[in-house]
Amino acid sequence: MNRTDWISLEKKVTEWIRDAGNKLRRSLSGSLDVHTKSAHNDLVTNMDKEIEQFLVRRIHKYYPGHQIISEEGFGDKPTDTEGILWLVDPIDGTINFVKQKCFFAISIGIYENGKGKAAYIYDVMNDGLFHCISGSGAYLNNKRLSPLKPVKVEDALIDLSSTWIKPNKRIDQDVLTDILLKCSGTRAYGAASIELAYVAAGLINAYFTMRLSPWDYGAGLILIHEVGGQTTRADGLPIDILSKSSILAAAPGLHQDMVRHIRSQVASGKFLREP
């Protein structure tokens, strides 16, 4: 697609996302239909499904040749990254949506032949739309985000879930200890797309997790690249956007320091397993 096509797409997506956001805000004053999926803390609501259907129908209507990977199963099942691929999470942070009624987002990342082209992360209750068309700058609503500057570990706010510092099957619980003792502080917000958008906005300096799906990270990666941040798997290797993956997203400098540290821990015998 050319630049004019992307601008016209942005106009549509922004409208759909704002409509979907209104539906979500309204739904919070009624009663939600909540079910568990793979585990007691893996929730899905009627609204996850409704919003995904709403978005998928529109994408299929206006862009019938495009492919969609989405969480609740209303999208397609692409096996490669050829053409245009949408990575859609109708509600990222469903636990927050159900329990806190805030801090959840609609996340849409769009790739052309495997390259990130456009990203939309709508923090619904803050009415904050993080967005970009690759090469044209990243924005929070109308405010352009500044390019990320190098950050030292000592000055960094690092976002990670407590899962990765207690016994678990994906990463030795001690791999990050030295970094976490040294850094300025840790944070965890429970909505990966917003956490990635916060890295892009410079509000936090790194986001680390051992397991996300393409719909969780698709948009966030594009936004972070647009402002000069770096994203890889935990071991520093490239992310395959069709797969579940660990994600290490950080400001320049900090990303290299964290990868170097993790690699040296693995070289000394600590384990790291991709999902």
* Residues contacting residue 169 through CB under 8 Å, at least 6 positions apart: 273
**Near ligand IPD in 216-255, by CB under 6 A:** 216
Tell me the closest approach of the beta carbon of residue 267 to ligand IPD, in angstroms: 27
Q: Which of Ca ion, ligand IPD, none does residue 212 bind to, with CB < 5 to 8 Å depending on kind?
A: ligand IPD
Question: From the list 50, 52, 89, 257, which residue makes contact with Ca ion (rule: CB under 5 A)?
Answer: 89
CA distance 26 to 243: 33
| Beta carbon nearer to Ca ion, 44 or 156 | 44
**Near Ca ion in 26-85, by CB under 5 A:** 71
Contact 110, 119 (CB under 8 A): yes
Question: From the list 171, 192, 249, 258, which residue makes contact with ligand IPD (rule: CB under 6 A)?
Answer: 192
Angle between helices 46-62 and 3-27 (to 10 degrees): 160
Contact 250, 233 (CB under 8 A): no
Q: Which stretch binds ligand IPD (CB under 6 A): 57-65, 73-81, 171-179, 188-196?
A: 188-196
Q: Is 89 annotated as a binding residue?
A: yes
Count the residues of the shown chain that bind ligand IPD, applying the rule CB under 6 A. 12
Using CB under 6 A as the binding rule, whether residue 93 contacts ligand IPD is answered as yes
Question: From the list 92, 123, 226, 257, which residue makes contact with ligand IPD (rule: CB under 6 A)?
Answer: 92
Tell me the closest approach of the beta carbon of residue 268 to Ca ion, in angstroms: 33
Nearest to 250 by CA among 190, 183, 163, 191: 183
Contact 234, 61 (CB under 8 A): no
**Binding letters toward Ca ion, positions 199-238, x by CB under 5 A:** -----------------x----------------------
Alpha helices in 115-213 (DSSP H): 177-182, 192-201
Q: Which of ligand IPD, Ca ion, none does residue 52 bind to, with CB < 5 to 8 Å depending on kind?
A: none
Using CB under 6 A as the binding rule, whether residue 109 contacts ligand IPD is answered as no
- First CA to last CA across the chain, in angstroms? 33
> Which H or E element spans position 124?
none
| Geometric angle at alpha carbon 9, from 7 and 14, rounded to 5° | 95
Q: CB nearest ligand IPD: which residue? A: 192
